[in-house]
Amino acid sequence: MPICIPDTLPAVDVLRHENVFIMAASRAKTQEIRPLKVLFLNLMPKKIETENQFLRLLSNSALQVDIQLLRIDQRESKNTPVEHLDSFYCDFADIKNQNFDGLIITGAPLGKVEFDDVVYWSQLVEIIDWAKEHVTSTLFVCWAVQAALNILYGLPKLTREQKLSGVYSHNITDPNAILTRGFDDTFLAPHSRYAHFPSDIIREKTDLVILAESKITGAYLMATQDKRMAFVTGHPEYDSFTLANEYFRDLNAGINPSLPDNYFPDNNPELTAKATWRSHAYLLFSNWLNYYVYQLTPYDLKTRNLTID
């Protein structure tokens, strides 16, 4: 089944060109089924690019998914036209009285910024607190994981001295875990972050179950026992060229970045990198939608307080 998005969202043309199964909102209204309602809080600067990346992964499911784009505030964006934001994004006040099957909170380029200095920190705290009662399952990605660990568990901000950038091998910790069902014992995933997620601290300071990790990246995939929250510390949504774009951007800015690990062929940035993580990225989002959202969510979302046994 397809994802359902507004007819004029730029992602419609991009994903249709890639033969991705999507359904325009106008057609979805004629179908007599109850689609999953997924709220997408986009914290990344290049919002259209991020929309394309996540919507592509959400499309690979047997479930129809109705996407609602959410912005954190109404500050002007340097990388996204205001017309796009006004046309396709809602404000939290517009949906705070609704319930949703799923919520995805993206990363943000705030690795070196203290939480108290994040201009929308109070809004993010409010949304994460709201999600406890109004969302069946929330998926946090990269910086959003670090923010959530602080908000939910009181963990201090842990920052790496050097940016973690590249494609790394990870090991699953439980071959029977449903969020990693179908995963190979080892799999690749990209990272681009200063945030630090040591597995030993996660195990000691939280009740989260680590489902995948590596010695280099630390904890990669974590979840609560009740499946109400899942955490991905990397960027499985990245396109094959995203890490290259970040590297050349920083190089042109005079930052003198290190080459992303295990990314460019022969470590030569003049050669085109290939995505080696795509299949597991699709599988992760498909598993989350099925086992953490669809299998747990109430049919009647008008229920004010979501309770999951």
Answer yes or no: are the C-beta atoms of 48 and 4 closer than 8 Å. no
Would you say 215 is a known binding-site residue?
no
The span from the CA of 149 to the CA of 300, in Å, is 30
Would you say 163 is a known binding-site residue?
yes
CA-closest candidate to residue 247, choices 196, 190, 198, 197 = 190
Answer yes or no: are the C-beta atoms of 16 and 45 closer than 8 Å. no
Would you say 286 is a known binding-site residue?
no
The span from the CA of 147 to the CA of 239, in Å, is 24
Catalytic residue (choose from 4, 51, 134, 142): 142
Residues 6+ apart with CB under 8 A from 28: 4, 35, 64, 66
Catalytic residue check, 142: yes
Task: Give the H or E element holding residue 205.
Answer: helix 199-205
Catalytic residue (choose from 4, 134, 191, 237): 237
Question: Helix, strand, or coil here: 306?
Answer: coil
Residues 6+ apart with CB under 8 A from 115: 121, 147, 150, 157
Query: Residue 30, Cα to own-chain centre: how many angstroms?
Result: 30
Answer yes or no: are the C-beta atoms of 234 and 217 closer than 8 Å. yes
Catalytic residue (choose from 191, 196, 235, 280): 235
CA-closest candidate to residue 222, choices 161, 288, 297, 160 = 288
The span from the CA of 244 to the CA of 115, in Å, is 28
Q: Which residues are annotated as a binding site for substrate?
A: 163, 192, 249
Catalytic residues: 142, 235, 237
Q: Which residues are annotated as a binding site?
A: 163, 192, 249
